[in-house]
């Protein structure tokens, strides 16, 4: 039985789940904003405790990563993401979730060959491209300061 392109598209349209973009966008915006508000509240708390701004900023990152990893380990981050959608992909918490969840999937394969390998499957490209980009940006900045570029 051969199906035409038009028939295939009609079948595809019937099986696609309906999506309310306005609700999805609003929910994602609220969830992402909520995570950012939590980060700001933590920053204010750490500053109030007498930390320097640089130290407080670092501790905010550590706290958000730890919370995301803990919620992922307790399988609560997945529930949050199911309702909040893309709002949970705020870079630092979404990355922590991706690393921890991939490690959890591979734990039956052992610590080194399972968890260790899976963690670097996700984190490796981010670290590689982050380091590469920072070297390139550094070289461009040095070249600009030395007057070698424009």
Residue ranges of alpha helices (H) inside 49-116 are 53-73, 77-84, 91-105
What pLDDT band is residue 30 in, cutting at 50, 70 and 90? very high
Predicted local distance difference test score (pLDDT) of residue 48: 97
What pLDDT band is residue 26 in, cutting at 50, 70 and 90? very high
What single DSSP character describes residue 116?
I
Contacts with 149 (C-beta within 8 Å, 6 or more apart), sequence order: 140, 143
The pTM is what?
0.68
Interval 119-142 mean pLDDT: 83
The pLDDT tens digits of the residues spanning 51-108 come to: 999 999 999 999 999 999 999 999 999 999 888 888 888 878 888 888 888 878 777 7
Interval 110-131 mean pLDDT: 74
- The residue that leads in pLDDT, 70 or 121, is 70
Residues in the chain: 150
Predicted local distance difference test score (pLDDT) of residue 42: 97
Reading the block at residue 127, the tokens are: 């670290």
Domain ranges of the chain: 21-105, 119-150
Predicted local distance difference test score (pLDDT) of residue 29: 93
Share the mean pLDDT of the chain.
87
Predicted local distance difference test score (pLDDT) of residue 150: 63
């Amino acid at each position: 039985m051969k199906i035409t392109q038009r028939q295939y598209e009609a079948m595809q349209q019937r099986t696609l789940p309906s999506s309310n973009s306005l609700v999805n966008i609003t929910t994602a915006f609220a969830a992402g904003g909520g995570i950012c508000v939590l980060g700001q509240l933590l920053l204010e708390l750490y500053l109030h405790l007498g930390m320097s701004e640089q130290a407080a900023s670092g501790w905010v990152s550590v706290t958000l990563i730890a919370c995301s990893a803990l919620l992922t380990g307790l399988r609560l981050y997945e529930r949050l993401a199911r309702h909040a959608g893309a709002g949970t992909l705020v870079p630092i918490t979404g990355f922590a979730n991706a690393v921890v969840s991939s490690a959890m999937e591979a734990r039956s394969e052992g610590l080194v060959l399972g968890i260790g390998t899976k963690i670097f499957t996700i984190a490796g490209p981010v670290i590689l491209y982050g380091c590469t980009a920072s070297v390139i940006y550094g070289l461009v900045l040095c070249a600009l300061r030395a007057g070698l570029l424009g």
